[in-house]
Structure 1
Amino acid sequence: MTFLTWLYVPGDRPEVVAKALACGADVVIVDLEDAVAPHRKEYARAATAELLAEPPPVPVHVRMNAPRTPLADADLAALAPLPGLSALRLPKVTSAAEVVAVAERSAPVHLYALLETALGVERAHAIATSHPALRGIALGEADLRADLGVRADAGLDWPRSRVVVASRAASLPPPVQSVHPDTRDLDGLARSCVHGRDLGFLGRAALHPRQLPVIEEAYLPTAREIDRAEEVVRAAAVEPGAQALADGRFVDTAVVAAAHRTLSLARRGR
């Protein structure tokens, strides 16, 4: 199944985590890092370990504390062996070695690396190919924006394209778009999702359940996109090889492959 919605919830609020598991998100991300104050870290870890003692109703990822810190060591010891953990998300990754170090301690848990600094973005491909346990990379745009001193949103388009290209070059799935921080700005969220989809992202992280249907609608193909994809597939079945459709569209192997991806994603929404 293709996941499109990834909902962050703070690990020190188990009552909120319980609600998140029933709100329709494809994946729930329990955050032990930025969303949890230092004096609440141990409680958040213990509450999360209790949750993951049994498999939850939807996949649960945990954003652990930054690798190679005492907090990260405690997170790995407490959570990696648990049957309810689907994946670990590693914040502020700047090198392949950080991923390898976590992978060696958490196997066979899947890992996702978050690139939140200029150095992390520069090393995107090395990180993306660091270990077989790594299943994806993504940006942490709030920290990256601060690191780069970026004021306008367009200033992040190059790093965004960088992770899209690095993911594809490493044969990883398309990256998930970073959160839209204004949870009430649903129109802005929708516009931002369209832009992210144009750049090559697939799906998006969210901070509030109200954002989930907006993200899903933006990333699912429209009726027109489905119709056009079906036309391409039908034409290719009748006449394999390069051709031009009646409306002037050129069809070759790459176009057919893209059409199949569109139809596969459309079936996910049914």
Structure 2
Amino acid sequence: MQLSLDRARPAPPAAAGPGARTWLVTPGITPAWFASAVGSGAEAVLLDLEDSVPAEAKAGARESVLTFTGRCPRSGGGPLVGVRINSVDTPEGVRDVAAMADGGLWPDLVVVPKVESGDVVAAVVRSVRAAGAATRVWALIESPRAVLALPDIVRTPGLAGVLFGAADYAAAAGCRITPRAMWYPRSQLVTAAAAAGIPAVDSPHFSPDPGELSRETLEAVELGFAGKVAIHPRQLPVIAQAFAPSPQELETAQAVLAAAAGSGGRITTVDGAMVGPPLVEAARAVVRRAECAAALTTTLTMKAS
């Protein structure tokens, strides 16, 4: 199977799908972990065929991953189940897409790594659409060249969202994986994604310290990321809690909505501060975050017990 990189037949836009704050990535070389990952309470589960799988194990991992995703139900309230394929600029990436197409084994999500232009994303989108699959295609942004190409990448028809890969970015840029070093690429990613109307999901955190994970996730929330990737199930509750608004945030949001309702939609004040339509919409977003976080926390608590 050949992946055409021309833009002669652009694919129609794809819906980004339900918001997923908690993502869990699992190596494709460990099929014994797949079911527990799906049952972890994460809202999206990624089975990895790229970095976690050595070259000699690619074929076996591909078969295990696609057999599993092919059996996963597409309803019932479970997580989205996706696959991070190999770069489509490599033979293994082409084989990954060909295996999905030939076997009709399309997952909920396909994450395309090493994206540095919209062309490679468009090629995968076309393969998905040609098969009549409902799979959403996401781009993994993990190099300085990719960050500079974001305006082109996020305009790719059919792109459902973008993820950030901090480790590969730091290696390519020659910088450390610190909050200060990652502010620029993360801000650029969130800005480009917001302009295109698609979600952005933050990179995994690699330290075992839950306090560091919490601080980094709070930064992701402040920047505007829709979710964050975990590399172990124990990170999921920390991520979920960080995405939940604080009691003070929720109280302020509820006060803003009450004042807006009492003013009949006109500009009003809360605690002496002027409140207009943008702040009202932001308050609605906080309330929605609180509702989603409460449901997610309940799910993760039940899974852990």
Alignment TM-score > 0.5, same fold: yes
Instruction: Give the paired residue count.
Output: 266
- 1:199 counterpart residue number: 223
TM (norm. structure 1) is: 0.94
Contact 1:8 1:31 in 2 (8 A): yes
Whole-Å separation in 2 of the counterparts to 1:93 and 1:28: 20
Contact 1:67 1:93 in 2 (8 A): no
Displacement of 1:45 in angstroms is 0.3
- State the Cα deviation string for residues 208-230 of structure 1 (Å, max 9, x = none): 00100000000111222111111
- 2:38 counterpart residue number: 21
Contact 1:95 1:123 in 2 (8 A): yes
Contact 1:190 1:218 in 2 (8 A): yes
Deviates more, 1:95-104 or 1:73-82: 73-82
- 1:139 counterpart residue number: 164
SS in 2 for 1:265: helix
* Residues 1:9 and 2:30 are matched in the alignment: no
Displacement of 1:205 in angstroms is 0.1
Contact 2:84 2:110 in 1 (8 A): yes
The structure whose RCO (Cα within 8 Å, separation 6+) is larger is 2
Tell me which amino acid in the other structure corresponds to 2:169.
Answer: L
Q: Which runs of 5+ in 2 are unaligned?
A: 1-17, 295-305
- 2:146 counterpart residue number: 120
Whole-Å separation in 1 of the counterparts to 2:182 and 2:90: 28
Tell me which amino acid in the other structure corresponds to 1:194.
Answer: L
* Residues 1:64 and 2:65 are matched in the alignment: no
- State the Cα deviation string for residues 67-115 of structure 1 (Å, max 9, x = none): 2221111111222564661010000100011111111112242111011
Displacement of 1:49 in angstroms is 1.5
- 2:174 counterpart residue number: 149
State the identity %: 35
* Residues 1:221 and 2:238 are matched in the alignment: no
- 1:268 counterpart residue number: 292
Mapping of residues 172-211 of structure 1, within 5 Å: 172-173=198-199, 175-182=200-207, 184-211=208-235
Displacement of 1:122 in angstroms is 0.3
TM (norm. structure 2) is: 0.84
* Residues 1:38 and 2:55 are matched in the alignment: yes
* Residues 1:255 and 2:255 are matched in the alignment: no
Whole-Å separation in 2 of the counterparts to 1:26 and 1:7: 8
Whole-Å separation in 2 of the counterparts to 1:266 and 1:249: 23
Q: Which runs of 5+ in 1 are unaligned?
A: none
